[in-house]
C-alpha cells in the first residue's frame, strides 16, 4: 500500500513529506494506523546527524498511538481495531533480559532495530522509486501507517484519546518511570531535575506522585518555570542567574533537619549535557545520593567525575524508557492518566499536521514547545 510519511533522507536536512510504499505485516508483525505522534528531542538528535546509530533515509518518530489495521500470521495478542502504543523498547517476555526481572531492555530484536530493519533483516518501507527506507527505533511513527513486531505494541484502553496517549509512548513513561521504576523515590525525598522540557516535566510529576517534599527544577530558560510549578516543582534555579556554582548552591539549599552536609536525595538529568550530568551527580547527598541520567548525549561525548564522589556513597544510574516494561507497564500508565493520577493535557502545547512537522522541530529549538504533536 501507499502511505504518507515524513522522510529523513539526509542528516541535518528538513524531513520531506511524501508518499511511500509500505509492505503489509509478515509473520509476527502488525500494521498500525498512527493517529497521533509526539516530537521527542531524540528524533531531533537523530535528524540532526548527532546520533551514532542514525541511518538515512529513515522514517523517524517513536512516540505514537494508533489502531491495529492488519496482523500477520501467528499474531495472537492483538487484533484489528485494537488501540495500541508502539514500543521502542519491546517486551518479548522470553529473552534473558526479560526473564531476569532486572531490566526493561528486551534484547529480542535490538540488533535489527538498531540497523533500522524489521527482525527478518528487511524493511517494509521504500520510496515510490523503490529505494529502501529504514525504520527508526522500531516505530517510525512519522508515517501514517507503519509496521511493528507484535512484541513491540502495547494494547491500551479504547477510551484513551490518541492525542494524549501518544506521549505515553516516550516522554511521560520515561519521566515518571525514571522516578518510580529506576530511582524508586520515597515519600519525603528531596530531588533535583535538570532540564524542564518534555521529559523533565514528567520527572517532576513523577516526583509529586511519589510524595517528594522538595522538588527543585533547573533550566536556563525562565519560561519553563510556570509549567514546572504546575506539575509540582517547589523551587526553580536558573544556573545563569545565581552568580555561583550550582553544585554548592543546591547542596546548601537541600540542607535539612540539622544536616551539616546537604545534598539532594535524588537528581535527574533531562538535558543530555555531560557537564550538567556531572553537576547532577555532585549535588546529591554524600552517603546515599542517587543521580539518574535520562538525557541522550551528543555523539562521542563522555561523562566524568572524581571517583571520590562514588567512593563516598553517591550512585550514578541511567534509564531508558523509564525502566518500563512496555506491554506490561504502558497500559497501566494510560490508566493513571485516565484516572487523573497524572496529567498530560497542558504539556501538549502545539498540534500540527504532518505537512508542518519541520515547524515542530523549530519550536523545540526555540524552547517554545513542551510537546508538539502531529495528528494524522
- For residue 18, the minimal CB distance to ligand NAD (Å) is 26
Q: Which residues bind ligand NAD (CB under 6 A)?
A: 40-42, 45, 170, 174, 194-200, 218-221, 224, 239, 270-273, 276, 294-296, 319-321, 364, 367
Determine whether 111 is exposed, middle or buried from the number of CB atoms within 10 Å of its CB (0-12, 13-18, 19+): exposed
The nearer residue to ligand NAD, 28 or 239, going by C-beta atoms, is 239
CB of 333 to ligand AHE, least distance (A): 15
Query: Which whole-number Å values give the CA distances from 245 to 209, 305, 306, 325, in the listed order?
Result: 30, 16, 17, 38
On the CB side of 362, CA atoms within 13 Å amount to: 7
Q: Catalytic annotation on 106?
A: yes
Question: Among 29, 63, 150, 282, which one carries the catalytic annotation?
Answer: 63
- Give the binding range for Zn ion (CB under 5 A) out of 165-173, 255-263, 296-304, 352-360: 165-173
Q: Among candidates 249, 227, 248, which has minimal Cα distance to 237?
A: 249
Residue 364 interacting entry, from ligand NAD, Zn ion, ligand AHE, none, C-beta within 5 to 8 Å by type:
ligand NAD
Residues 288-307 that bind ligand AHE (CB under 6 A): 296
CB atoms within 10 A of CB 304: 9
Residue 51 interacting entry, from Zn ion, ligand AHE, ligand NAD, none, C-beta within 5 to 8 Å by type:
ligand AHE
Handedness of CA 114, 115, 117, 123 (dihedral sign): positive
312 is catalytic: no
Cis omega before residue 57 (within 30°)? yes
Q: Which is nearer to Zn ion, 199 or 277 (CB)?
A: 199
Select from 30, 84, 62 the least CA-distant residue to 137: 62
Give, as ranges, the residues between 300 and 359 that touch ligand AHE (CB under 6 A): 320-321
Q: Which of 36, 38, 65, 89 binds ligand AHE (CB under 6 A)?
A: 89
Q: Rule CB under 6 A: choose which of 4, 26, 110, 317 binds ligand AHE.
A: 110
Q: Is 50 in the site for ligand AHE (CB under 6 A)?
A: no
From 3, 37, 40, 271, active-site residue: 40
Give the integer Cα–Cα distance in Å for 361 and 373. Answer: 11
The grid coordinates of residue 122 equal 528487511
> What is the 3-state secondary structure of 199-249?
CHHHHHHHHHHHCCCEEEEECCCHHHHHHHHHCCCCEEECHHHCCCCHHHH
How far, in Å, CA of 352 to CA of 36, rounded? 10
282 classed as catalytic: no
42 is catalytic: yes
Write down the least CB distance from residue 360 to Zn ion, Å.
Answer: 13
| Binding positions for Zn ion, rule: CB under 5 A | 40, 42, 170
- Catalytic residue numbers read 40-42, 62-63, 92, 95, 98, 106, 110, 170, 371
| Binding positions for ligand AHE, rule: CB under 6 A | 40, 42, 51-53, 89, 105, 110, 170, 296, 320-321
Amino acid at each position: 500500500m501507499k502511505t504518507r510519511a515524513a522522510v529523513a533522507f539526509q542528516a541535518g536536512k528538513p524531513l520531506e513529506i511524501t508518499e511511500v510504499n509500505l509492505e503489509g505485516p509478515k509473520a509476527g508483525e502488525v500494521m498500525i494506523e498512527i493517529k497521533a505522534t509526539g516530537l521527542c528531542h531524540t528524533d531531533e538528535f537523530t535528524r540532526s546527524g548527532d546520533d551514532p546509530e542514525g541511518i538515512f533515509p529513515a522514517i523517524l518518530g517513536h512516540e505514537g498511538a494508533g489502531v491495529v489495521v492488519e496482523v500477520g500470521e501467528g499474531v495472537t495478542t492483538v487484533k484489528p481495531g485494537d488501540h495500541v502504543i508502539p514500543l521502542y523498547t519491546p517486551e518479548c517476555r522470553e529473552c534473558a533480559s526479560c526473564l531476569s526481572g532486572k531490566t526493561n531492555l528486551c534484547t529480542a530484536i535490538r540488533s535489527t532495530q538498531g540497523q533500522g530493519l524489521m527482525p527478518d533483516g528487511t524493511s517494509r518501507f521504500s520510496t515510490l522509486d523503490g529505494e529502501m527506507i529504514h525504520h527508526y527505533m522500531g516505530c517510525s511513527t512519522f508515517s501514517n501507517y507503519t509496521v511493528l513486531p507484535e512484541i513491540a505494541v502495547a494494547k491500551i484502553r479504547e477510551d484513551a484519546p490518541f492525542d494524549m496517549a501518544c506521549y505515553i509512548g516516550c516522554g511521560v513513561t520515561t519521566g515518571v518511570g525514571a522516578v518510580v521504576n529506576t530511582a524508586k523515590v520515597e515519600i519525603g525525598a528531596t530531588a533535583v531535575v535538570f532540564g524542564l522540557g518534555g521529559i523533565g516535566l514528567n520527572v517532576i510529576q513523577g516526583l509529586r506522585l511519589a510524595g517528594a517534599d522538595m522538588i527543585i527544577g533547573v533550566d536556563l530558560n525562565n519560561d519553563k518555570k510556570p509549567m514546572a510549578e504546575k506539575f509540582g516543582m517547589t523551587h526553580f534555579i536558573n544556573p545563569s542567574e545565581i552568580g555561583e556554582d550550582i553544585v554548592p548552591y543546591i547542596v546548601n539549599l537541600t540542607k535539612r533537619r540539622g544536616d551539616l552536609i546537604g545534598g539532594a536525595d535524588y537528581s535527574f538529568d533531562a538535558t543530555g549535557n555531560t557537564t550538567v550530568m556531572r553537576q547532577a551527580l555532585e549535588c546529591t547527598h554524600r552517603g546515599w545520593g542517587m543521580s539518574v541520567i535520562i538525557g541522550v548525549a551528543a555523539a562521542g561525548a563522555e561523562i566524568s567525575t572524581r571517583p571520590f564522589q562514588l567512593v563516598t556513597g553517591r550512585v550514578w544510574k541511567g534509564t531508558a524508557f523509564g525502566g518500563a516494561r512496555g506491554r506490561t507497564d504502558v497500559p497501566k500508565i494510560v490508566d493513571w492518566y485516565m484516572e487523573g493520577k497524572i496529567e498530560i493535557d497542558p504539556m501538549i502545547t502545539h498540534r500540527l499536521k504532518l505537512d508542518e512537522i519541520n515547524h515542530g522541530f523549530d519550536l523545540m529549538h526555540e524552547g517554545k514547545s513542551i510537546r508538539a504533536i502531529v495528528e494524522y
